[in-house]
Amino acid sequence: MMILRPIQKSDYSALLNIAQESGHGFTSLPVNEELLQNKIERSVASFAKETDVPFDEGYLFVLEDSETGEVVGTSAIEAAVGLDDAFYHYHLSKVIHSSRTLNVYKAVDILTLCNDYTGATELCTLFLRDKYRRGLNGKLLSKSRFMFINQHRDRFADTVIAEMRGVSDENGDSPFWQWLEEHFFSMDFPTADYLTGIGQKVFIAELMPKYPIYVNLLSKEAQSVVGEVHDNTRPAIELLKSEGFTFNGYVDIFDAGPTVEAKVDNIRTVREVRKYTVRIDDAMQIDAEGSPVMIANDKLAGYRATALTLTLPEKATEVAIPGAVAKALQIADGDTVSIATL
């Protein structure tokens, strides 16, 4: 059984392995012992913090195989970005060049540096190890965050965003960054990406072009990747689109990958989640004929979620679950759980 739970200090080695496997372009998990330890400590403190407004909290989850104890993936939520450090994007928009006298009309795409998502909640740090990319694992790892946000609404903003990894090759070279590097910077993409991951972002404000960039002046290679995702990221963006996330022209300043957004109330899982009272049946087996669902307890630091197949009678207020599932979710008879279809 796969269980999603908050990260613990003892998970450092597993998180380091995931950071190493994730490769270039995965800014939120730099391969740096001090920073990874700090990320874990910050998450533990965030789960323990009493607050009713989103600020600088970061909630980091891991997906654990309950049979082996192996940590096989991670995902995270940033409560509110850009409040203590600038959060940059390029916004893709158009300008019109026209002349009635010359009978010329041309619409041109431009990229403008901005901080428009300041204060938004961010979904981030989603990574599942290769051999576990099957079944419901990916959906559980990603969508369980919506259950958590729904259960603790005061801790998060009304707008939720997710930055999608942009196009880069096996060496970590980004066509978009190559153009920026040639004209404005003297560092390669992996270096810039790493510096951002460890929090050294001052070079962005110092060296990034201050004025809008005309997209048609970029190299053909750079133009072709604006708003496009890395091949490994396609399943993630399709999942978010199915939840109601949309692309509104904001792209990453390094690899031009798209950022998608949604209002919390418009997210499909949030709209469809239902509350049930638990009845534990130790003799009950997993319902192979049921529908795939995600089930989570309503705790904060003790948050647990898993995926299974379950038959939910229409208009029911009580749900029976096997004892093994109840134990994994750390719930007892009469507790409340949240359930959403997968």
Shared-domain flag, residues 253 and 278: no
In the chain, the number of structural domains is 2
Q: For residue 290, what pLDDT band results from cuts at 50, 70 and 90? A: confident
- Is residue 48 predicted with pLDDT exceeding 60? yes
Shared-domain flag, residues 227 and 297: no
pLDDT higher for 205 or 57?
57
User: What percent of the chain is modeled with pLDDT above 90?
Assistant: 70
Residues involved in catalysis? 230
Shared-domain flag, residues 284 and 265: no
Report if residue 60 sits inside a domain.
yes
The pLDDT assigned to 328 comes to 94
Instruction: Tell me the pLDDT tens digit for each residue of 20-36.
Output: 888 655 667 878 888 89
pLDDT higher for 204 or 267?
267
Shared-domain flag, residues 217 and 160: yes
The pLDDT assigned to 9 comes to 96
> CA angle 163-154-3, nearest 5°?
65
State the residue range of the domain holding 32: 2-90+114-269
Q: How far, in Å, CA of 70 to CA of 2, rounded?
A: 10
Beta-carbon count within 10 A of 265 CB:
11
Report if residue 108 sits inside a domain.
no
The string of DSSP codes covering 304-329 is -EEEEEE---TT-SEEEEEHHHHHHH
Report if residue 97 sits inside a domain.
no
Q: Answer whether 40's CB lies under 8 Å from 32's CB.
A: no
Residue showing tokens 């200090």: 9
| Among 210, 244, 269, residue at a domain's last position | 269
| Among 213, 240, 269, residue at a domain's last position | 269
Q: Residue count of the chain, please give it.
A: 342
Shared-domain flag, residues 235 and 146: yes
Shared-domain flag, residues 265 and 278: no
CB burial readout 167-196, b (16+ within 10 A) else e:
bbeeebbbbbbbbbbeeebeebbbebbbbb
Helix locations, the chain, DSSP H:
12-22, 33-48, 137-151, 175-183, 189-197, 202-207, 220-225, 234-242, 268-272, 323-329
Report if residue 327 sits inside a domain.
yes
Strand, helix or coil for residue 100: coil
Instruction: Tell me the pLDDT tens digit for each residue of 317-336.
Output: 999 899 999 999 999 999 99
Instruction: Tell me the pLDDT tens digit for each residue of 159-176.
Output: 999 999 899 887 778 899
